[in-house]
A = this chain, B = another copy of it.
Amino acid sequence: MSTDFSRSEVPEVVVSRLPQYLRILNRLMEDGITVVSSQQLGEKLQVTPAQIRKDLSYFGRFGKQGRGYSVHDLLDRLRQILGVNAFWNVAVVGVGRLGRAIVNYPGFTPDGFHLVAAFDVNKDVIGSDVGGLMVHSLENLRSVVDERKISIAIVAVPVSDTQEVVDQLVACGIRAILNYAPIIPHVREGVRIRNIDPVLSLQSMTYYINTSNDD
């Protein structure tokens, strides 16, 4: 019923697991481990070895029978597949409390995501410095996005502004959005969005606390 001209080929769940494999492999690499089996990876990730092998098989044959996977080579291939072998420039929209925390979070840079621009609508903060970034007016979005070759944005604005901001980002050519507002914005086909919503996570866990206590 929906447009499916982009041969979906690889299931979305598979793609969502690859970054986790990357994580573990990075850690193994740091620990000086050079070869790993799907069995061992599965233990660390709490998934079945078969799933790991199947997931990887969508992209090629990276292992050696009887031996396992070369940590270095698999790492390399996964980075290539995910497109994280190069740097990505990222914009942050909204520099309130949450936005500031994001800008100051040191975890993005080591993985190749460079926060290179900040935006806000609030006149009081525009022009000020937040975590080493000059805060631009949202009106300058297009020019800064073009200039700095930004294709990813992190959104941390109030709920009431979120859809509007997302629309503007998409209009300026942003292809991937990480949204921290407690709303699921609509985006057109071809634009990716992931929502980070701790309250939803908590609420889905309380269900299980209850049902196993009494009931």
Q: Residues on A close to B: CB < 8 A? A: 6, 15-16, 18-20, 22-23, 45-46, 81-84, 88, 90, 97-98, 101-102, 104-105, 107-108, 111, 113, 151-152, 154, 175-176, 178, 182-184, 186, 190, 192, 194, 196, 198-210, 212
Contact = CB atoms under 8 A, between A and B. Distances in A.
Contact of A201 (B90, B196, B208): B196
Given A101-B101, A108-B198, A199-B108, A192 B208 contact: yes
A82 B175 contact: no
A198 to B, nearest CB: 6
A111 B199 contact: yes
Given A98-B101, A101-B101, A176 B205 contact: yes
8 contacts: A16-B204, A20-B184, A23-B200, A83-B207, A83-B209, A83-B210, A105-B198, A176-B206
B176 A202 contact: yes
Given A98-B105, A202-B178, A207 B15 contact: yes
A97 to B, nearest CB: 6
Nearest to A192: B205
Contacts of A15: 204, 207-208
A175 B207 CA distance: 11
**Oligomeric state, in copies:** 2
A86 to B, nearest CB: 9
Contacts of A210: 82-83
A203 B22 contact: yes
Given A46-B186, A190-B212, 16 more contacts: A6-B212, A19-B199, A19-B203, A19-B204, A23-B183, A84-B203, A97-B101, A107-B199, A108-B202, A113-B199, A152-B202, A152-B205, A176-B208, A194-B201, A196-B198, A196-B201
Contacts of A186: 46
Nearest to A204: B16
Nearest to A195: B201
Q: Which of A23, A205, A207 has the most CB of B within 10 A?
A: A205
